Amino acid sequence: MLKPSLATLFSVFSACAVASQTLPDLQLGSKITLSGLSSGAYMAGQYHLAYAEQVTGVAMLAGGPVYCAQNSLGIALEHCLNKASSAPDITVINTYIQKQRELGALAAESALEDDKVWIFHGSNDQTVSSHLSNILQKQFLQWLPKENIRLVTNLAVAHTFPTDNPALGECNVSAPPFLANCRYDAAGELLQFILGDIQPRTDKAQGQLLAINQHQLSSAAARSLAEQGYVYIPASCARGSECKLHVSLHGCKQNADAIGAAYATSTGLNNYADNNKLVILYPQTRASNINPFNPNACWDWWGYSGADYATRTGVQIQAIAQLIKALQTAQPQH
């Protein structure tokens, strides 16, 4: 697949090539929803707390409590991954979150009011212990009524994004591209909960998956993310209909350099986007072996990009915010 030049902001993705294409004039609302898998789940939770006034719903798959790692790789490995003995210090975490709210580095607690939170964790997940999602649920119960939170932990799913697509791999396997046929439509379930009543999905996505130059759209992305990301635009949104924006964050080893556009095409989210006027942004990370050490292209949920990684001043949270604003204010390119 050819890579777009620095001069090309947007391009159409196809199985064979990336061709030059202008971005349509999008009419996007100011509110967004989020979802993420694994490190993407941790980042989705972080972004929610940072910009809660912007977010109405978040779905987190195979993750744990926000700020679980407390800016420490050692704590991340001991308490936020696959150990049954993991016990994140919620008292310390709560103290940090409250302090950052007081400093204005996170949204006020009141901004979470009425938000919806959907949490999923497969019982066969050997990468991130499922009991961490129970802790995540308890964390959000501090801020939201229980009816606004749904926790799903009773399905035999490995560390993967579960779908009901028979073309994908086995559900008990955790391997790239971490997308599996589990006879469970996670995309539909999460959208139904965080958006409310939704229209049925299409059998085949009818819109366009555009490759975007993240570095040109966001100065923060140029410092921490891959050059290329993706955005899925239904035909109705491309024609100027009012649409909503959903941001979907991949997991470790799920970035485009590792698995191509698989995550941006195979979760099932795009099939719901067409009938529900949803533009879906798929930001992309990049792997690095030194400065910072992030060989698996994870989103930063333990502090490799700086101690402020889980706040509004964190470079990756800034990057996502800038990409969102770029789409919300996009005008036709001439």
Q: What is the pLDDT of residues 67-105, one digit of tens each?
A: 999 999 999 999 999 998 999 999 999 999 999 999 999
The pLDDT mean for the chain works out to 92
Q: Which domain holds residue 191?
A: 10-328
pLDDT of residue 330: 72
pLDDT of residue 23: 74
Q: Please give the Cα distance from 244 to 89 (Å, whole number).
A: 36
| Residue 219 domain flag | yes
Domain count, the chain: 1
pLDDT of residue 149: 98
Binned at pLDDT 50, 70 and 90, residue 9 comes out as: very low
pLDDT of residue 36: 98
Q: Please give the Cα distance from 41 to 61 (Å, whole number).
A: 6
For residues 161 and 179, the answer to whether their CB atoms sit within 8 Å is yes
Q: Please give the Cα distance from 28 to 241 (Å, whole number).
A: 9
| Catalytic residue selected from 48, 79, 121, 159 | 159
As a whole-number percent, the residues of the chain with pLDDT over 70 amount to 92
| Residue 267 domain flag | yes
pLDDT of residue 331: 54
pLDDT of residue 21: 59
Q: Is 125 a catalytic residue?
A: yes
| Residue 3 domain flag | no
| Residue 4 domain flag | no
Q: Is 14 a catalytic residue?
A: no
As a whole-number percent, the residues of the chain with pLDDT over 90 amount to 90
Read off the pLDDT of each residue in 207-236 and give the average, rounded to a whole number: 95
pLDDT of residue 56: 98
Q: Given a cut of 80, is residue 283 above it in pLDDT?
A: yes
| Residue 323 domain flag | yes
Q: What is the pLDDT of residues 17-33, one digit of tens each?
A: 333 356 788 999 999 99
| Catalytic residue selected from 35, 38, 130, 305 | 38
pLDDT of residue 291: 85
| Catalytic residue selected from 79, 115, 125, 300 | 125
**Closest residue by Cα to residue 225 from 300, 281, 329:** 300
Q: Given a cut of 60, is residue 8 above it in pLDDT?
A: no
Q: How far is CA 140 from the centre of its chain?
A: 18
- Amino acid in position 39: S
**Closest residue by Cα to residue 114 from 143, 151, 152:** 143
| Residue 243 domain flag | yes
Residue whose pair of structure tokens reads 């929803």 in the numeric block:
33
Binned at pLDDT 50, 70 and 90, residue 334 comes out as: very low
For residue 177, whether the previous peptide bond is cis, meaning omega lies within 30 degrees of 0, is yes
Q: What is the pLDDT of residues 143-191, one digit of tens each?
A: 999 999 999 999 999 999 999 999 999 999 999 999 999 999 999 999 9
| Residue 334 domain flag | no
Residue whose pair of structure tokens reads 């800034």 in the numeric block:
318
| Residue 5 domain flag | no
Q: Given a cut of 70, is residue 3 above it in pLDDT?
A: no
pLDDT of residue 18: 35
